[in-house]
A and B are shown apart, each in its own frame.
Chain A
Amino acid sequence: MTQKTVTNSQITEVRPTDPAASDDVIRVIGLHKHYDRVAAVQGVDFSVRRGEVFGLIGPDGAGKTTTFHILGGVMEATAGDVQVLGQPPRDARLKIGYLTQQFSLYLDLSIDENLRYVGGLRQVPDRQFSERREKYLRLMNLEKFGDRLAGELSGGMKQKLALCCALVSQPQVLLLDEPTTGVDPVSRREFWDVLAALSSEEGVTIVVATPYLDEAERCNRVALMYDGQIQQIGTPAELRNSLGLHRLEVHTPQLQAAEQVLTTLSESDAIVDVQTFGDRLDVLVSDPQTGESQVRELFRQNHLQADTIELAEPTLENVFVTRLRQQGSAPEFFEFPRSRGGNRNVTTGSSSDFAIYSHNLNRSFGSFRAVKNVNVEVRYGEIFGLLGANGAGKTTTIKMLCGLLPISSGDISLGGERGNLRSSELRRRIGYMSQKFTLYDDLTILQNLEFYSGVYGVPRRLRREKIDWVIATCGLDGRETMLTGQLPGGWKQRVAFGASVMHEPDILFLDEPTSGVDPLARRQFWKLINDFARNGTAVLVTTHYLEEAEQCNRMSFMVAGEIVTEGSPSQIKASQPGQLIEVVIDQTQAASNLLKQQMESWRVSIFADRLHIVLDDPDRDIPIVRSLLKSANLTIHSLRPIPFSLEDAFIGVVQRLAQSATPEEP
């Protein structure tokens, strides 16, 4: 490794949280926007300081994109005062970089051509253009692909290129509207590392909208937006504290019974919320001691076994969901009208009873091996997650498992059937929701549901009831006759899910079911999925949103067509070598730059005002880190071990694999 000296310019840092820096780059006062009769934004006030990363978080239709359009100067506000860099946004457009929600690239142009076009539009002088082109392509690791067409890049690379395009005119403000939707975890991390560097090293002010609440943790400040209004603004820590609640992670083998007991039998208001994950319950309590003792008491009374109860910080998801519940906007849960009473024997263990089974499954496209020796075993009543980045082979695997794609070699059994996976009898027992589910945009919601209930052979007399259930669950009562194309993405996903389960399948395949779905709806989604699993349905779900994978009972990580790790969420996290360390330090960016010279760069990431560092041998490495930081005159305020998230685990696995595949000098 080449030793670089840390120059002064790398250490000078614009401190985003410095209260003295009152120079607000963005100031929004009383912003309103009405489309005809619909009010999209109703009285929004906020300001963003120079060099700050400001997150805008909210469900679909909260008014985030409208706010971005107005900030970007491409839309007129109905009322209110909006100032960007002291000017109306329209006049400041050349100093603003704007990444729109749809890909803002020309997919039929190469990377260079895309950059050149933006450079020309924004009148960047030639010399500066080639300088910046070099610099940012290198920053995003794209410098080798100059001639590649944008359409041939992966989702993560596309977004990095879009960011490059926005940066070519060296904007002082970056507006990013859901920049990481459809981007795999590794690229997502890298993308955020770049954002952190831009804000601290170049003083770029960044406003970002995201549906992922783990990303919100990486913002300096966050605004929760709902129904066209901002409900709350603060740093992630402030938001968590303002909730005044504590989170207990309860590990128990009897999840379903425990959830029931905790939600229905708890008399005091000590227990505020209970959420089921793949192998644990999250219980929100107002006081940690009384909360824990109450949980233990309830477990004892009902003869339930609690393995461990751990106290943890509430997540931003908790904040978000609790706040929205207070608004009374949580989607209601309706019991599915079961007509077959599904429940088969969930607990039998013999291998012939696997709902989905594959052994040494392979699939090649020409010389490219998309899936290599994949083994999957899913029992009835189990939720199994297939995780991995884009192009890891998840969709190919799922298509083979449900018989849509012929296999190259290997064994498959589906619902006990080995030979003909496409028999109509078997297909009637299977539900499949594909990545881009084909609801017909030009049919009404009702017509779509009637069509699918017919296709899946739901008995005529039951159809009405099931369709009513889907519509009620989606909160679309009275809007059944709306054209499906007019629904926002997240709602469409919910209708699509409803359409794929109306026939009460024994086996359910869900391919990226929740992409583009907001946190609140996502919760309801998983509640529904859990409900089906408890009634004996085997569920196989793919996702690259790893926070969500916590909901799975068991899961496999796929990398480049192979399964690299499998187990329950806790097992996977526990099997990670080393320890994750959170460091609060003066100059986060300088510290991160320094550490990245000493260890692989994936081990260090910036989370707002703190650093996350992965250390293989904490006892040996922590003193090294301490002395390294001290030698650069950086003051450590706190240093503590924190648990791995699934995303940390995934990134660790992927990076270690890449490292062993291409051994570099130490």
Chain B
Amino acid sequence: MKRILAQCTKELAQFRRDRLTLALAFILPVMTLFIFGFAIRLEAKNIAIVVQDFDRSNLSRRYTEGLYQTNQFVPAQWSGDDPMQDALDRGIAKAAVIIPPDFSRGIAAGKTSQLQVLIDGTDVNNARVIKNSIQAFTRSFLQDQNLMSGTSKITPRLRLWFNPGRRESLYIVPGVFGVILAIYPSLLAALAMSREKEQGTILQAYASSISAAELLLGKCLAYLVVGIGQAIFVIGLGCAIFRIWFVGDPSPFLIGTGIFLIASIMFGLLIGVRANNRSVAVQGVATAGFLLALLLSGFIYPLSNIPFPLSLVTNIVPARYFIEISRDAFVRGTGWEGVWVAQVCLVVLAFVLFNIARRILGRMQLPG
């Protein structure tokens, strides 16, 4: 225990001394919070479209106006005579709606009329959103105009739970907490470990009788202190700026944060133990950490969309479990009942990472 504490005090003294890592520890996370918190917008708003109305009837005009009133679409500047394809080609509009000359006549005659909708499919996600919106709008337009053939017996009454206002920050920000706490504490830990190897000071530890486990735990303890500081700082700032707060019992989140920090630090130490110098360590954490925490954690892309066998990888990404806990704390609020599995998974992961790192450090000797 004394050796763990000695290791820990030393790490903290070094950390305090190094202005660069100090900045790294607090400024970069805040920048990440702002970039992700403000910049990522998943909902489609203000999509530029053009409408070419060959019908020029009351009905077609009402349809066009209705389309723009949804707030989702805005008219793009386009003279009505040029071919619609050009508007898409030049990127002026994301979609074009072409109303044929016999549109209103056909409807009046009780026949099925056709609309042509061209959508820019470069961005698949957006294209799908546009397609669904136009379809949904058209259906409701027909209903409003009483043009539906045969009234439907069932009308769904939809209610959004947990996030009734569909506030996006409520979805993004708790996830950003996960990404930040996955990357920065592990980066610091990896740097601290690889620096000893790079500068040869690790030999001093080898030459004393400190064990691999004690060395790792000492470093982990120091960076846990730093990580808790980062967590309070980033989460506090995030809550204040994006106006989010706990719903229900905060204790699973608080405890989960601690466990998650340990897991990320262990991940960093593991990379540091493998890397022989700092630049390799930074690259390792940046590549592995960022990719896993961003793409395979459910932060942006739903886990259920990730295909097999890649979906198996998500099970060993600690950020995935933390994001689950975090979203529960800020959005759902089910408490322990909903997230105890995630907590257990984090504990197991932290322990596994620690053991791998310990195995690699092995007998605290130079490689033969």
- Residues on A lying within 8 angstroms of B by beta carbon are 33-35, 69, 72-76, 78, 90, 93-94, 96, 98, 100-110, 113, 116-123, 149, 165, 169
Q: Establish whether residues B366 and A74, one from each chain, have CB atoms under 8 Å apart when the complex forms.
A: yes
Q: Establish whether residues B10 and A113, one from each chain, have CB atoms under 8 Å apart when the complex forms.
A: yes
| Contact A121/B200 with A108-B17, A109-B17 known, Cβ cut-off 8 Å | no
Known: A102-B199, A117-B7, A120-B5. 7 other contacts (CB 8 A): A33-B368, A74-B365, A98-B207, A109-B14, A110-B13, A118-B208, A120-B2
Q: Establish whether residues B10 and A74, one from each chain, have CB atoms under 8 Å apart when the complex forms.
A: no
Query: In the complex, how many residue pairs between chain A and chain B have their CB atoms under 8 Å apart?
Result: 94
Contact of A100 (CB < 8 Å), options: B6, B9, B203, B208:
B203
- CA–CA, A78 and B367, complex, Å: 12
Q: Chain B, 184-209, contact with A by CB distance < 8 Å: what is the 0/1 string?
A: 00000000000000011101111111
Residues of A within 8 A of B203 (CB): 72, 74, 98, 100, 102, 104
Q: Establish whether residues B10 and A69, one from each chain, have CB atoms under 8 Å apart when the complex forms.
A: no
Q: Any chain A CB within 8 A of the CB of B18?
A: yes
Residues of A within 8 A of B364 (CB): 74
| Size bracket, chain B contacts | 20 to 34
Q: Establish whether residues B368 and A123, one from each chain, have CB atoms under 8 Å apart when the complex forms.
A: no
CB distance from B277 to the nearest CB of A (A): 12
- CA–CA, A319 and B152, complex, Å: 108
Q: Establish whether residues B204 and A118, one from each chain, have CB atoms under 8 Å apart when the complex forms.
A: yes
CB distance from B212 to the nearest CB of A (A): 13
Q: Establish whether residues B10 and A117, one from each chain, have CB atoms under 8 Å apart when the complex forms.
A: yes
| Contact A93/B207 with A109-B10, A121-B3, A123-B3 known, Cβ cut-off 8 Å | yes
Residues of A within 8 A of B10 (CB): 106, 109, 113, 116-117, 120
- CA–CA, A35 and B366, complex, Å: 11
Residues of A within 8 A of B368 (CB): 33-35, 75-76, 78
Q: Establish whether residues A74 and B6, one from each chain, have CB atoms under 8 Å apart when the complex forms.
A: no
Residues of B within 8 A of A149 (CB): 17
Residues of A within 8 A of B3 (CB): 120-121, 123
Closest to A165 in B: B204
11 interchain pairs, CB-CB under 8 A: A73-B206, A75-B366, A90-B365, A96-B207, A101-B200, A102-B201, A108-B17, A120-B6, A120-B9, A121-B205, A123-B2
Q: Chain B, 244-278, contact with A by CB distance < 8 Å: what is the 0/1 string?
A: 00000000000000000000000000000000000
Contact of B6 (CB < 8 Å), options: A96, A104, A116:
A116
Residues of B within 8 A of A34 (CB): 368
Q: Establish whether residues B2 and A108, one from each chain, have CB atoms under 8 Å apart when the complex forms.
A: no
Closest to B207 in A: A98
- CA–CA, A63 and B209, complex, Å: 25
Residues of B within 8 A of A94 (CB): 208-209
Closest to A119 in B: B6
- Near A by CB (< 8 A), chain B positions 320-341 give none
| Contact A102/B200 with A74-B365, A93-B208, A96-B207 known, Cβ cut-off 8 Å | yes
Residues of A within 8 A of B363 (CB): 90
Q: Any chain A CB within 8 A of the CB of B210?
A: yes
Q: Establish whether residues A76 and B208, one from each chain, have CB atoms under 8 Å apart when the complex forms.
A: no
| Contact A117/B9 with A93-B207, A96-B207, A102-B200 known, Cβ cut-off 8 Å | yes
Closest to A149 in B: B17
- List the 4 closest A-B pairs by CB distance, nearest first: A120-B6, A102-B200, A74-B206, A117-B10
Q: Establish whether residues A73 and B200, one from each chain, have CB atoms under 8 Å apart when the complex forms.
A: no
Residues of B within 8 A of A33 (CB): 368
Q: Establish whether residues A106 and B365, one from each chain, have CB atoms under 8 Å apart when the complex forms.
A: no
Which of B17, B18, B364 has the most CB atoms of chain A within a 10 A radius of its CB?
B17
CB distance from A179 to the nearest CB of B (A): 14
Q: Establish whether residues A120 and B207, one from each chain, have CB atoms under 8 Å apart when the complex forms.
A: no
Residues of B within 8 A of A169 (CB): 208
CB distance from A113 to the nearest CB of B (A): 5
Closest to A125 in B: B2
Q: Establish whether residues B209 and A104, one from each chain, have CB atoms under 8 Å apart when the complex forms.
A: no
- Near A by CB (< 8 A), chain B positions 212-253 give none
CB distance from B276 to the nearest CB of A (A): 13
- Near A by CB (< 8 A), chain B positions 1-39 give 2-3, 5-7, 9-10, 13-14, 17-18
Residues of A within 8 A of B13 (CB): 109-110, 113
- Near A by CB (< 8 A), chain B positions 299-318 give none
Contact of B209 (CB < 8 Å), options: A93, A98, A100:
A93
- CA–CA, A121 and B7, complex, Å: 7
- CA–CA, A93 and B204, complex, Å: 11
- CA–CA, A511 and B205, complex, Å: 35
Which of B18, B363, B365 has the most CB atoms of chain A within a 10 A radius of its CB?
B365
